[in-house]
Amino acid sequence: MAEQEESRATAYTTLAPGDDFRHELEIKRSRFITVLRRASDEDAARALVAELRKEFHDARHHCSAFVLGPDRVIQRSNDDGEPSGTAGIPMLEALIKRETLPGVADLSDVSAVVVRYFGGILLGAGGLVRAYSESISAALDSAPLVQRRRLRMCDIPCPTKRPGGWKTICAPRATSWPKLATSPRRQSCAWRYPMIQAQSRTPVSGWHP
């Protein structure tokens, strides 16, 4: 959490909240089962590997890669028995080089595991690199992605007689406009808007969604 609070990033792309996303490819009789999970820290990212080792206990390889943090400073990969550099690194590169918008590669907080069932045909080093990279890319092509933005929450009290005046001023700058909270003598409104537009003295509400 401290790392996110100190980050200079104001937005990045990650998986939409929800269940793990799965995708499968068959290449020369080998099955490549890709599982993507949104992860907030290294423990959560590594937990996916442990879970899939149990679920696919008879598979030969459970290769992994993950990227974490708004600035993507945490990057890890593991070949899990495949020749060095032919699985984990291609998977990691597919994550960090993924363009979420033209010219923008900002995917993060994603843990990826590719489970391989060997089909009896050797793919060679180049074939393995392509297979693991393609497995991640194909999964991301279909996975639900969202942009996370760092937002500030502002709470503005206003006289009961003029709540509309505040809404007129603030709403054009807001990313969301909750209902006014009422009291016997006044109403107040709260909204979130991007960090880059906020005053430094405004309390930080965190990342959304």
Residue 156 confidence (pLDDT): 56
- Asked: is 11-148 a CATH 3.30.230.30 domain? The reply is yes
Closest Cα to residue 133, out of 177, 174, 96?
96
Domain boundaries, the chain: 11-148
The 10s digit of each residue's pLDDT in 17-66 is 999 999 999 999 999 999 999 999 999 999 999 999 999 999 999 999 99
pTM: 0.75
Sign, Cα dihedral of 51, 56, 58, 60: negative
Distance CA 175, CA 95 (A): 28
The 10s digit of each residue's pLDDT in 168-191 is 445 444 444 444 444 444 444 444
The 10s digit of each residue's pLDDT in 120-129 is 999 999 999 9
Percent of all residues in the chain with a pLDDT value above 90, rounded to a whole number = 65
